[in-house]
Structure 1
Amino acid sequence: MTHSVAASTKPAELAVLLPGTGSDEVFVRSVFEVPLAAVGVRALTPGPRPGPRLGESYLDVLDEAAADAPVLAGGISFGAHLAAEWALRNPDRCAGLLLALPAWNGDPGDSPAALAARLGADAVRAGGVETALAALTGSVDPWLAAELGRAWRGYGSGLADSLLVAAGRRAPTVAELSEIRVPVGVAGCVDDLVHPLAVAKLWAGAFAHAHLCTTRLDIVGADPEALGRAAVLAWLRAGGRPVI
């Protein structure tokens, strides 16, 4: 059964942005809030509800937010996957998509992001959160280590399960993405090995009305809004309608 997602006739005033794997609402807000305010859209950034129902809890937030009017949906990595999944299920309630750093299509397999999440879950279960974070410090940039430190500690005892939920959840396939007709902004980083730019290009090419804008991880580390600006600019170029 085909679920073609058609564009809303009225600009959306609210965007729901979902965090990536092991991330939180603080980072998503730092990425999207100001760029969206510049086009008159308010950002709703729900925090994670750790555990096996992590994905469903985010989809529930989207359902609630779109109860009265269509919303923009989006997020980073796992959050982008969920937003696209929700758009496919809700053709009358999605006004557009803002998708940053998609990580795979269809089954995750051994994609870099899924593999990293599984390894993270194993490390947390083997030695605890602090030991796992200490092991990360030398392998990622300091800004990312700081972001993960805050977010991972916030997940508490549900961290490992949450990482595995993200690592194992199927993302929309290219064929499914092609059913979506709303304007879609895709943002990728040219230097991100965990979220390869090739995946972002594949996503952008699959949608009927999409555009891809890029930035760099080192820029995002100094200015998180750079990633949000890339996604919002791509959405505008794809036909997104600002409120102001």
Structure 2
Amino acid sequence: MSAVTAVLMPGTGSDDVFVQAVFAGPLGAVGIEPRTPPPPPGSLLADGYLAALDRIAAGAGAPILAGGISFGAHLAAEWAVRNPDRCAGLLLALPAWNGSPGSAPASMAAKVSADLVGREGVDAALAISTAGVAPWLADELGRAWRRHGEELADGLRVAAGHPAPTLDALAGLDVPAGLAACVDDPVHPAAVAHEWAAALPRAAVVETSLEALGRDRESLGRAAVLGWLRAARG
């Protein structure tokens, strides 16, 4: 496993600091160091990440392990659908929808956040958005949103409207895929992860919770890595 290159991407409005905290330990335990590119700015969010996957895969010399959290998981799967021969496996935490986003909770939340940021600015939007949320989540949002800065609203809108792979497209991905679902997360319903796993030929879902994530960022990464290992064993 030490020769595998893993590329992980964060969710909407998040950043590489968070995805590194989630995945570095669990992947390190199996001898893999993740690469976590920083978020491309604003309207380039999706295309920039897909280009980063192309660039890293071209330099890896072997198929890569692709993955991410929420929108990052969508992009990893999208890239794998386009590049099945360059993908060694998938680590998919908290997928939020399949196909068109429609009225998926994560898409609607991103649109609301984008409008709020556009109207109030980042700092005022943060004050409104983090009122009453768990302190760990408020801290994560505060850091990541300020890093995105003026590009945040455009990035949120890109993610909100970007289609995820359809279940039919996922059915053509014959690589081991580990999916992590939080059973107490209404924005990323666990049912979506189970739908993805049912469509993928070689996949396993491991459930955890937002409560656990608040105590231990690696809990989400461990779930995805464990699912991947189970899928790889068949």
TM-score band (shorter)? over 0.9
Name which of 69, 78, 81 aligns with 1:85. Answer: 78
1:239 is paired with a residue of what secondary structure? helix
Q: Which residue of 2 aligns with 1:59?
A: 50
Name the CA distance, whole Å, in 2 between partners of 1:179 and 1:56: 22
Q: Would the alpha carbon gap of residues 123 and 129 (structure 1) be closer, same or farther in structure 2, given more than 3 Å must change?
A: same
Name the CA distance, whole Å, in 2 between partners of 1:212 and 1:197: 9
Q: Which residue of 2 aligns with 1:23?
A: 14
Q: Which residue of 2 aligns with 1:234?
A: 227
Name which of 129, 136, 140 aligns with 2:133. Answer: 140
Alignment: residue pair count: 232
> Which one scores higher on RCO, CA 8 angstroms, separation ≥ 6?
1
Q: Check if 1:37 corresponds to 2:41.
A: no
Percentage identity across paired residues of the two chains: 61
Deviation sequence 1:134-180 (CA, Å, 0-9, x none):
11122421111110110000001100000000000000011111000
Contact 2:2 2:31 in 1 (8 A): no
Deviation sequence 1:38-60 (CA, Å, 0-9, x none):
11111000110111111111111
Contact 1:106 1:172 in 2 (8 A): yes
Q: Would the alpha carbon gap of residues 11 and 204 (structure 1) be closer, same or farther in structure 2, given more than 3 Å must change?
A: farther
Letter in 2 for 1:60: A
Name the CA distance, whole Å, in 2 between partners of 1:40 and 1:13: 9
Q: Which runs of 5+ in 2 are unaligned?
A: none
1:185 is paired with a residue of what secondary structure? strand
State the superposition RMSD in angstroms: 1.3
Residue 240 (structure 1) shift: 6.0
Name which of 63, 70, 86 aligns with 2:63. Answer: 70
Name the CA distance, whole Å, in 2 between partners of 1:176 and 1:140: 36
Name the CA distance, whole Å, in 1 between partners of 2:201 and 2:187: 26
Q: Which has the higher helix share?
A: 2
Name the CA distance, whole Å, in 2 between partners of 1:111 and 1:135: 22
Letter in 2 for 1:218: E
Contact 2:5 2:34 in 1 (8 A): yes
Name the CA distance, whole Å, in 2 between partners of 1:31 and 1:155: 20
Name which of 72, 91, 95 aligns with 1:102. Answer: 95
Letter in 1 for 2:209: R
Contact 1:12 1:70 in 2 (8 A): no
TM-score, normalised with respect to structure 1 = 0.93
Runs of 4+ off more than 6 Å = none
Contact 1:12 1:71 in 2 (8 A): no
TM-score, normalised with respect to structure 2 = 0.96
Name the CA distance, whole Å, in 2 between partners of 1:71 and 1:181: 14
Deviation sequence 1:38-86 (CA, Å, 0-9, x none):
1111100011011111111111111111112211000000000000000
Q: Would the alpha carbon gap of residues 139 and 108 (structure 1) be closer, same or farther in structure 2, given more than 3 Å must change?
A: farther
Name the CA distance, whole Å, in 2 between partners of 1:92 and 1:173: 19
Q: Which residue of 1 aligns with 2:38?
A: 47
Q: Which runs of 5+ in 1 are unaligned?
A: 1-9
Name the CA distance, whole Å, in 2 between partners of 1:69 and 1:154: 32
Letter in 2 for 1:100: A
Contact 2:50 2:75 in 1 (8 A): yes
Residue 11 (structure 1) shift: 7.4
